[in-house]
Structure 1
Amino acid sequence: MLTDLHKKQIEEQGMSPATIEEQIRNFEQGFPYLNIYAAATPGDGIMVLDEKELERFLDTYQKYSKGKVIFKFVPASGAASRMFKDLYAFLDNDTASLDADPITKQFIDNLSSFAFYEDLDNSLKASGSSIEKALATKDYKLIIRHLLEDEGLGYGSLPKGLLKFHRYDEGSRTPVEEHFVEGAQYGLGKGNTVRLHFTVSPEHQEKFEEKIADIQPAMEARFNVNFEVTFSQQKKTTDTIAVNMDNMPFTEENGEILFRPAGHGALLENLNDIDADLVFIKNIDNVVPDRLKGSTETFKKAIGGILLDAQDRVFSVLEKLEADADEALIIESEGVYTQILGAKLPDFYHKYNLAEKAAYLKKKLNRPIRVCGMVENTGEPGGGPFWVKEADGSLSLQIGETAQLNLDDPHQQGIFQSSSHFNPTDLVCSVKDYKGKKFNLLEYRNPKTGFITQKSKNGKDLKAQELPGLWNGSMDNWNSIFVEVPLITFNPVKTINDLLRDVHQ
């Protein structure tokens, strides 16, 4: 199946033929559906904090976070081009009419509301025009070209993190700048340092570095903190092979195998390289202006406090379980597992003797921990919180994507429809064990939770494979705590006109 040329290419990719053969088997066999047992709901899998609990966890975070190494991990490799899909279509349409294109019309009608308005106007003026002149002559395509193409602002080829999102009296800010501000609010840790880590595309890293070099001194002076900024790129070793419709390697005209990036699950490798006590994960485009940051700050600190509290309780019983366990310690450990982590023990566990119970609990407790914010489902795409039955009969909390579920099964469909919340990529993670040693996160993922999608290249159909998603299959064997957070903390920008929503003005 693999030629010598292919094997050489695989080696240059930093991969092994065995890995490729496993990926091909996944195409042939498919991935099993996630066996959801029930939807996680408020009071049954999703914590809902009352005012007293919120204050307690905020106090916990305030007391203990300053002595921790905290990272803010921001997936930022997404190109902005998808935001402008409709504007590109308008440019390509020779008979385009604004009245027949409500999305482009909304964009044109509200130009002055965008944070990049002045930059766009200056770009047009440099070419002898202006927004005012272009509007007067109905030359809407000129405006759009100056926004998207390199003759103007070049937004169509920039990463989303470097577009101007929000306008302030002192100037407009990009998402990168908003993450600096957020980091100062809840990411301040050991050494009076805010540690930001951006995962970026190779072609964009230099632009990110230039932007950060420009803003970092002022941000440090403003907040009287140190900012430590690092970058990583999705590793080539995490790419997956593409195959044709017969599950044979898809080859290019030069005979080489086509490899494709394997989705956000590939970032597990990047996360695994982070050496920290706490890691907050949040997408690059989920930011708001300062006037709305209060809720984000409050609930980021709250889920951080929940994690620190859980970590302390888990570490305490794990240290005690190093010695012989008595009945009191087993009861205490069960309480941490079922009440603090919210998991459920299988029926057979209760037939174990003390030593067997201790071994079982130690194995279940000594894992990475994550606290995930959950917002009420308003129809946005995202992973839902579910109870999943594990092979040993226990129930664990998992985030399940729609593509992982067998919605042709009426029972599974019913569980899916009863789900009331979803995760908007709002997590804080504990990635060290009770002895202070980093977990190897690759050992806690479920490789059988990937996705297969149909694509095409050069007019030929192909199948692509994504690795287990970062917050579902890649964290399958973590201990998970789900917490309800306000919807105002979730404000992604998927299209250019999302910036016209009140939360971004």
Structure 2
Amino acid sequence: MFSEKDKLQIQNRGSNIEIVNQQIEKFKKGFPFLHVEEAASVGKGIIQLDQEKLQKNIKRYEAKVISGIKPLKFVPASGAASRMFKALFEALEECETSKTPEEVLKENKAVKQFVDEIEKFAFYQELKNKISENSEEESCKNQVGYLLSEKGLNYGSLPKGLLKFHKYKNIDRTPFEEHLAEGAKYAKDSAGKVRLHFTVSPEHQESFENLLQKIKEPYENELSVTFEISFSQQKPSTDTIAVDLENEPFREADGSLLFRPGGHGALIENLNDLDADIIFIKNIDNVVPDKLKKSTIDYKKALAGVLLKYQEKIFLYQKELNEKHPVALDHAFLAEAANFLENQLNTKPAESQYYTEKEQLYHYLKEKYNRPLRVCGMVKNEGEPGGGPFWAKNPDETVSLQVVESSQIDPNSMQQQTIISHATHFNPVDLVCGVKNYKGEKYNLLEYTDPATGFISKKSKDGKNLKAQELPGLWNGAMSNWNTLFAEVPIETFNPVKTVNDLLREQHQ
């Protein structure tokens, strides 16, 4: 199937023939659907924090920071902003081919809102100046054209992280800057250092670095912190091969193999390269202006406090299970550890795993306790798209809490679809992770993924149909074998920008 030239191409990408053959086999066999038992809910898998618990967990986290733990904030920021402007791209094409601007405005409500309220956008003044520089009138067509194209602001080709989102008295802020300002409030260590890591696309890293060079010192002075900012790119070795509809390798016009990015699940490798005691994860577009940041900051600290509370108990069990021989552990300790695992860490054994033999129980507990820990914020379901919190069956027949995407569920199973429809919460991508064991040693996160949770989609290239494969998602399959806790967070902590007009919402003004 593969020529020597193919093998060299694969090798140069940091991959190997065995991995590529495994990917092709998955195209042929498909991925199994995940079996969900029921939706997680408050009191049944989702922790609810009243004001007393909220403040207690905030104080727990702050005390741990003072005592020396090192936090870090991880932000996936490689996504292009082009999808934000879908309606504007379509309007521009219609203006250039078949319709007048007046007709487009009459027929397209999203474009009309954009034009009618354009002065509210943080990028408006810069856009206006760019049009004026070229001595053109500020018409609807020019506004859209100069916003998206290279002759103007080039927003149609930039990543979300570099767009101007919010207006302040003397400055306009990008999401990149908002994450710095936000991180300074909860990801600061005892020495005042704030560590943030952004995953970016290769073609945009220089632009991020240039912006950082320009703003770093002013933000450090304003916020009384020191920033340590790092960047990484999705590794070519995590790209997946594309195939045609017959599951044969898809080839470019020059005969070379086509590889495609493996989705955000590939970022587990980037996350695995980082060293920190606590890692916060949040998407690039989920930011708000300073006046609305308090709730986000409080709940980030509180989620970290919840993690530290459970981690303290986990470390005690880890130490006993790792440093003592099964003979030295009494039944009472093992029963206590089994109870905590099932009722606090939400991992229920299969019936066959209610071990009566001491050594069997010991090995089961040792495996389940020696895993990374994450606390995932969950928002009440108000119709937003995205995955949600469920009790799901794992490959080893245990049942545990999992973040589940709709694509993982059998669309032909009425029973499974009914369970999905009863979800009370959804996943806003608001995670706090503990990636070290009781000795302070880092886990190899690549050992805790579930390779069977990938996804196949139909795409096209140069007019030809193909099939693409995504790796297990970062917060579902890539973290499938972590110990997982869910905690409810308020809707005001979730303010993503999926279309440009979302910036007109009150939360972004």
Letter in 1 for 2:484: S
Letter in 1 for 2:71: I
Report the secondary structure of 1:203's partner residue.
Answer: helix
What is the rounded CA distance, in whole Å, between the counterparts of 2:234 and 2:355 in structure 1?
46
CA deviations on 1:191-233 (whole Å, 9 max, x unpaired) are 3211010000000000000111111101111121111000000
Write the mapping of 1:220-231 to structure 2, written as runs, cut at 5 A: 220-231=220-231
Which runs of no fewer than 5 residues in structure 2 stay unpaired? none
1:357 Cα offset (Å): 2.0
What is the rounded CA distance, in whole Å, between the counterparts of 1:391 and 1:219 in structure 2?
47
C-alpha contact 1:115 1:166 (8 A) present in aligned 2: yes
What is the rounded CA distance, in whole Å, between the counterparts of 1:392 and 1:127 in structure 2?
65
Over 6 Å off, 4+ runs? none
Q: Which residue of 2 aligns with 1:498?
A: 502
What is the rounded CA distance, in whole Å, between the counterparts of 2:395 and 2:90 in structure 1?
49
Letter in 1 for 2:264: H
Q: Which residue of 2 aligns with 1:25?
A: 25
Q: Which residue of 2 aligns with 1:178?
A: 178
1:320 Cα offset (Å): 2.1
1:456 to 452, 457, 460: 460
Letter in 1 for 2:262: A
Q: Which residue of 2 aligns with 1:263?
A: 263
C-alpha contact 2:34 2:393 (8 A) present in aligned 1: no
1:476 Cα offset (Å): 0.7
Aligned residues: 498
What is the rounded CA distance, in whole Å, between the counterparts of 2:349 and 2:2 in structure 1?
46
What is the rounded CA distance, in whole Å, between the counterparts of 2:80 and 2:364 in structure 1?
45
1:352 Cα offset (Å): 2.0
1:481 to 481, 485, 491: 485
CA gap 1:37/1:16 in 2 versus in 1, 3 angstroms:
same
2:392 to 388, 394, 406: 388
Matched, 1:111 2:122: no
What is the rounded CA distance, in whole Å, between the counterparts of 1:294 and 1:450 in structure 2?
36
1:456 Cα offset (Å): 0.4
Matched, 1:400 2:404: yes
Write the mapping of 1:96-495 to structure 2, written as runs, cut at 5 A: 96=100, 97=103, 98-129=105-136, 133-134=137-138, 139-321=139-321, 322-323=323-324, 324-495=328-499
CA deviations on 1:47-89 (whole Å, 9 max, x unpaired) are 1112222122111111102411211000000111111111111
What is the rounded CA distance, in whole Å, between the counterparts of 1:332 and 1:186 in structure 2?
34
1:334 Cα offset (Å): 2.6
1:326 Cα offset (Å): 1.5
C-alpha contact 2:164 2:172 (8 A) present in aligned 1: yes
What is the rounded CA distance, in whole Å, between the counterparts of 1:65 and 1:355 in structure 2?
38
What is the rounded CA distance, in whole Å, between the counterparts of 1:270 and 1:260 in structure 2?
17
Matched, 1:71 2:78: no
1:287 Cα offset (Å): 0.2
Q: Which residue of 2 aligns with 1:3?
A: 3
Write the mapping of 1:30-109 to structure 2, written as runs, cut at 5 A: 30-66=30-66, 67-93=68-94, 94=97, 95-96=99-100, 97=103, 98-109=105-116
Report the secondary structure of 2:453's partner residue.
Answer: coil
What is the rounded CA distance, in whole Å, between the counterparts of 2:353 and 2:109 in structure 1?
60
What is the rounded CA distance, in whole Å, between the counterparts of 2:53 and 2:426 in structure 1?
22
What is the rounded CA distance, in whole Å, between the counterparts of 2:264 and 2:320 in structure 1?
37
C-alpha contact 2:375 2:433 (8 A) present in aligned 1: yes
What is the rounded CA distance, in whole Å, between the counterparts of 1:422 and 1:379 in structure 2?
9
1:448 Cα offset (Å): 0.7
1:342 Cα offset (Å): 2.8
Report the secondary structure of 1:180's partner residue.
Answer: helix
C-alpha contact 1:325 1:355 (8 A) present in aligned 2: no
What is the rounded CA distance, in whole Å, between the counterparts of 2:43 and 2:390 in structure 1?
13
C-alpha contact 1:37 1:387 (8 A) present in aligned 2: yes
What is the rounded CA distance, in whole Å, between the counterparts of 2:143 and 2:502 in structure 1?
19
Letter in 2 for 1:372: C
What is the rounded CA distance, in whole Å, between the counterparts of 2:112 and 2:9 in structure 1?
48
What is the rounded CA distance, in whole Å, between the counterparts of 2:209 and 2:183 in structure 1?
17
1:328 Cα offset (Å): 3.1
Which runs of no fewer than 5 residues in structure 1 stay unpaired? none
Letter in 1 for 2:363: A
Report the secondary structure of 2:252's partner residue.
Answer: coil
Report the secondary structure of 1:191's partner residue.
Answer: coil
1:349 Cα offset (Å): 3.8
CA deviations on 1:139-195 (whole Å, 9 max, x unpaired) are 311111111112111111111101110111121111011001110111112532110
What is the rounded CA distance, in whole Å, between the counterparts of 2:234 and 2:4 in structure 1?
26
What is the rounded CA distance, in whole Å, between the counterparts of 1:7 and 1:336 in structure 2?
49
What is the rounded CA distance, in whole Å, between the counterparts of 1:349 and 1:189 in structure 2?
42
What is the rounded CA distance, in whole Å, between the counterparts of 1:69 and 1:18 in structure 2?
38
TM-score, length-scaled by structure 2: 0.96
What is the rounded CA distance, in whole Å, between the counterparts of 2:384 and 2:301 in structure 1?
25
What is the rounded CA distance, in whole Å, between the counterparts of 1:240 and 1:342 in structure 2?
33
What is the rounded CA distance, in whole Å, between the counterparts of 1:393 and 1:356 in structure 2?
16
TM-score, length-scaled by structure 1: 0.96
What is the rounded CA distance, in whole Å, between the counterparts of 1:89 and 1:193 in structure 2?
45
What is the rounded CA distance, in whole Å, between the counterparts of 2:351 and 2:190 in structure 1?
43
What is the rounded CA distance, in whole Å, between the counterparts of 2:278 and 2:445 in structure 1?
14
Letter in 1 for 2:128: D
